[in-house]
Amino acid sequence: MNIEAFHELSPVCFDGFHADLQHLGDLFSGAALGDKTKHLALAWQSHGKGELLLAGALAPPTDRAVLLFQGESPAAAENFARNDPYVTSGLVQKWTVRQWNTVAGADAASPLRPGDQR
């Protein structure tokens, strides 16, 4: 399986992909509150399609959030980032998508235990 203001938002993925959305504006302004409702709707829609596993902001400073996607390609994370109201409204000015290779835990895509020869 592949998988004040915010300054960065990081959708992350399962042995997949994460998008790193950076330089968020003031999420507590009136305009941003409307974007928040749309952002959450998009997140729950992505979850309903089996793409987004978990999402949420990190503890203060709330300068980053993590969104965990699963999939065989970065498409779900990229599509989410491109269509995220925080991005389309300009609240997020930069984002990237990266792969996360999981090696430990029950759901790791490529389990690697001590002594494994990889």
| In-domain check, residue 53 | yes
Percent of the chain with pLDDT over 90: 24
Domain assignment present for residue 114? The answer is no
CATH of the domain at 56: 3.30.70
DSSP 22-90: E----TTSHHHHHHHHHHHHHHHHHHHTT-EEEEEEPSSS---EEEEE-SSSTHHHHHHHHH-HHHHTT
User: For the segment 54-97, what is each residue's pLDDT rounded down to a tens digit?
Assistant: 887 777 766 677 788 888 888 999 999 999 998 898 887 777 78
Amino acid 39: pLDDT? 92
Question: Which range marks the domain in which residue 42 is found?
Answer: 8-60+70-99
- pTM here is 0.76
| Residue at 3 is within a domain | no
Separation of alpha carbons 78 and 54, rounded Å: 16
Task: Express each pLDDT in 10-59 by its tens digit.
Answer: 544 445 555 555 555 566 667 778 888 999 999 999 999 999 988 877 77
The answer on pLDDT for 6 being more than 60 is no
DSSP state of 58: P
State yes or no: pLDDT of 107 exceeds 50: yes
